[in-house]
Amino acid sequence: MGFQYELLKKFANHLDVELKIQVNKELETSFQLMEDGKCDILAFNLAVTEARKKRIDFSVPYAQTRQVLVQRKPEDWREMSEREVERNLIRNQLELNNKVIYVRANSSYVARLKNLSEEIGGGIRIIEKENFSEEQLISLVARGEIDYTVCDENVAKVNATYYPILDVQTAISFPQNLAWGVPKKADSLLTVVDDWLTDYKETLDYAVIYNKYFKNRKSALIRKSDYYTISSGKISPYDDLIKKYSDEIDWDWRLLASLIFQESRFNPTARSWAGAYGLMQLMPSVIRRFEVSNKSSPQQNIRGGVEFLDWLDEQIKKQGIRDEEERLKFVLASYNVGLGHVLDARRLTEKYDGSPDKWENVREYILKKSNPEYYNDEVVYYGYARGIETYNYVEQILDRYEHYKNIIEEG
């Protein structure tokens, strides 16, 4: 999954060869694998730098970006004027003097920050984190565990849609090219990659893939939804159906409406890149289990989704989680990432002496399931998970539910 994976898959199909992926977040290890002849292409957010050109060759750029500072707005930023918020943010790079900035180890961010530190007279303390992705560091900033990180602007903007408290407007570099890496002297491979990328970047297919990952309309959709709610007194055109089926699992209908908004924005024909369909974005396996057509009516889609929620609730009960509020969070998480990943996170929580029945404990290990140290643990059966999506999924559904309760009556 992901932008790079989709590009690689398209390229492999173009060559009519099998795509073999090695997942590795350590930059130095990746370069070494290439130098040892164990991989042919490095494909991640790889900025073209002179230092890297000494070790690998670069393709033509597939995109451009710049490095930006990721920082938190004040806790009460929503109640402040824009000018007041700005006064609390770093906008001048000179203000980074004596600041501590955490970045991915061996990344281009390290080199840029070292140069910037020299340019402003020294004083930036750079802490390199092994086995941490940019997204993991961004989540630490959002949660107040660290104050600053640096990453590429396209990655920062996507993550800022999940964390409104983040500011990603302060650039610390000029624009940089992003490209794939190939081994030195692999001239024929480089020629094929360059020719394909040059042509493919001009296609509608490329624009669709790029926009899917790096241009996000969630904020506009949320504003549109709020306007609809306030002006009509309804949450969606499907309120009556939502009320009917929420009664079957003893849910507040506004909670189910919040989940459906999260899944499809109330679009009954929504279809995800993973094959999920309809208002409740039912996956093919769920569609088969609960006998819902992938072209079903909104009523049948909601019915199937509610039956799936009920099934998940029964499975979570079997884990001994009796508290209804806690169990709800586990059900929501399982609806998003899958029950297996949630059970993995519970086992990790228990292994590290936390209570596996408390979501606030388990969600930390949902996040850590994107870290090899944890997803390769012997108690983990289902491997890697992009836990930040699940972490945010639960938070956003419950936050929107509280919002709906404030403006829409229960009946």
> pLDDT of 32-66, one tens digit each?
999 999 999 999 878 888 888 999 999 999 988 89
For residues 93 and 118, the answer to whether their CB atoms sit within 8 Å is: no
Instruction: Please state the rounded mean pLDDT for residues 145-149.
Output: 94
What is the percent of the chain with per-residue pLDDT over 90, rounded to a whole number?
53
- Token pair in block for residue 334: 């399982």
- pLDDT of 229 > 80? The answer is no
What pLDDT score was predicted for residue 58?
A: 95
* Pick from 53-57, 113-117, 211-215, 317-321: least confident: 211-215
> Which residues of the chain form CATH 1.10.530.10?
218-407
Q: What is the largest CA-CA distance in the chain?
A: 70
- Best CA proximity match to 265, nearest among 291, 232, 237: 237
- Token pair in block for residue 373: 């140290």
What pLDDT score was predicted for residue 224?
A: 43
What pLDDT score was predicted for residue 227?
A: 39
Average pLDDT, the chain: 88
CB atoms closer than 10 angstroms to residue 249: 13
Residue pLDDT, tens place only, 166-189: 999 999 988 888 899 999 988 899
Sort residue 270 into left (φ over 0), alpha (ψ -120 to 50) or beta: beta
CATH of domain 218-407: 1.10.530.10
For residues 367 and 306, the answer to whether their CB atoms sit within 8 Å is: no
Residue pLDDT, tens place only, 272-328: 767 788 899 988 888 888 877 666 789 999 999 999 999 999 999 999 999 999 999
CB atoms closer than 10 angstroms to residue 179: 23
> Which residues of the chain form CATH 3.40.190.10?
3-61+178-214, 67-173
- Token pair in block for residue 97: 């003097």
Give 373: exposed, middle or buried? Use CB within 10 Å, 0-12, 13-18, 19+. Answer: exposed
Instruction: For domain 67-173, give the CATH superfamily.
Output: Periplasmic binding protein-like II (3.40.190.10)
* Pick from 114-128, 156-170, 216-230, 296-310: least confident: 216-230
What CATH number does domain 3-61+178-214 carry, 3.40.50.1110, 3.30.470.20, 3.40.718.10, 3.40.190.10? Answer: 3.40.190.10
- In this prediction the pTM is 0.57
What are the phi and psi torsion angles at 267 (to 5°)?
-95, 110
